[in-house]
Amino acid sequence: MRRLLYSTTLALCLSPLTMFGQETTSQEPVPLSLEDALKYAVKHNVKAKNARLDIKKQQAINAEVTGIALPNLRTEGQYNDFLNPQKSFVPGEFIGMPGTFVPVQFTPKYGVTASGTASQILFDGSVMVALQARNGLLKLYQQAALLSEETVRYEVQKSYYGFVISKKQYEILKTNMSNLRRVAYEMGAMYETGFIEKIEVDRINVQVNNLITDSLRIGALIDVTEQLLKYQMGMDIAQQIILTDTAVDNNIAEAAALVINTNADYDDRTEFNLLNTQLNLQKYDLKRHRLSGLPTLAAFASAGYNYATNDFDEVFKFYNNYQFYSLWGLKLSVPLFDGMQRYNRVKQSKINVKQAENNLDDLKRGIDLQTASAKTNLKNALLNLKNQEQNLKLAENVLDIANKKYKAGVGSNIEIVQAQSDLAQTQTKYFSAMMDVVTAKSDLQKATGQFKK
């Protein structure tokens, strides 16, 4: 009876592992390599998509700026109905009424005008600089979009391997649970036959409960990591995925080579190129304010027809009474004094250029610091992982010896419980060290600008 009760309790404790392994959805799981995940994320992540839309918006703005330098054409039509036409006073001598002024209506009641106007800027310093800055502005948004994509790749890679390592840790936990279940079953049988005391069974039960807690924690971590990965990719959270790049050892080998073969190059960092473009745009802005003090020259031309009558029926019959007119001209505008406004705008632009130069210098030092720190962190993570691998082998060996001694009758179950507890703690540290290596590798790749593609 006691054995049946013990086996039932143990089975209930193990149920979270079984339920997690059997969880299914109606959607077909999608195989996903790291490269597939990165490509999918760049295409579907909201920040990356909005950054590409910013490029299209800037292209439209550039086209609008180009329109300033193109001819400006406009047509206009106007119809007037003078309800009470204005009258002018003329001397009465003209109509035989000397000494008086007589009101006379010169404006017909109805008037129609149709005209067309064309204008073209011939020289304007501000417009010239705006045209020169178009490509720089477009390049700025292209670099911003590239930076967004790099950030997405960085985050997705970390989440991808975080998911892989969590599942590996979970598989090891299931193996530990299976081994502990076997030991617990054997101890339960020995307790039933009176060979051991109940306290020894309680000890193993405590160990089982600890593994149950770990299983729930790791199971929840897997769920959260998977959902985070799919969110960063822009994928439906309900979509099931199967990760195919699970060889973490290869990733660790690449990390070791990365420490030796990687050096910082400012031009590889999109942030550096982005800030450099911003500096050039600030220089364009300074040039624009300087040239705004030069004269501007524009050409214009206008032509049209007008007609006036007191008879509404004749307004739209297009008789020969419609009069054609045309003109063209040049407009020269010379700024003389604007209250020192242009001078102060130039002064502000010079300060903006200097600040951009300072930011660029600071970014260089920041890139050097990020690269050096990332290399140091990766070296330390690799050393820690190597130590944890050795500790893991030792802990596995200690547990194996404890099991053999117990079966040979020269050891105690206390040794098994302690060895199993030490192994579980060592495994946790080992997987944590593995995650530190993967994260440090991603940080070094980001510091050296390796997430462009």
Tally of CB atoms within 10 A around 134 = 17
pLDDT number for residue 150: 95
Q: Which residue has the higher pLDDT, 365 or 247?
A: 365
Closest CA to 79 of 111, 56, 105, 46: 111
Are the beta carbons of 62 and 73 closer than 8 angstroms? Answer: no
How far is it, in rounded angstroms, from Cα 3 to Cα 292? 95
pLDDT number for residue 301: 95
pLDDT number for residue 14: 41
pLDDT number for residue 15: 42
Q: Which residue has the higher pLDDT, 93 or 358?
A: 358
pLDDT number for residue 120: 93
> What pLDDT digit, counting tens, does each position of 170-186 carry?
888 888 887 777 777 77
The DSSP string of 275-334 is HHHHHHHHHHHHHHHHHTTS-EEEEEEEEEEEEEES-GGGTTS--TT-EEEEEEEEEEE-
Are the beta carbons of 437 and 382 closer than 8 angstroms? Answer: yes
Q: In angstroms, how far is CA 224 from the centroid of its own chain? A: 21
> What pLDDT digit, counting tens, does each position of 308-353 carry?
888 777 777 766 578 889 999 999 999 999 899 999 999 999 999 9
> What pLDDT digit, counting tens, does each position of 220-243 carry?
888 899 999 999 999 999 899 999
pLDDT number for residue 11: 41
pLDDT number for residue 220: 85
CA atoms within 13 A on the CB side of 151: 14
Residue listed under structure tokens 């997430």: 451
Confidence band of 207 (pLDDT split at 50, 70, 90): confident
> What pLDDT digit, counting tens, does each position of 297-315 carry?
999 999 998 888 887 777 7
Q: Go through the domains of the chain in sequence order and give each one's CATH number.
A: 2-70+124-294+338-447 (1.20.1600.10), 73-122+295-334 (2.20.200)
How far is it, in rounded angstroms, from Cα 120 to Cα 127? 12
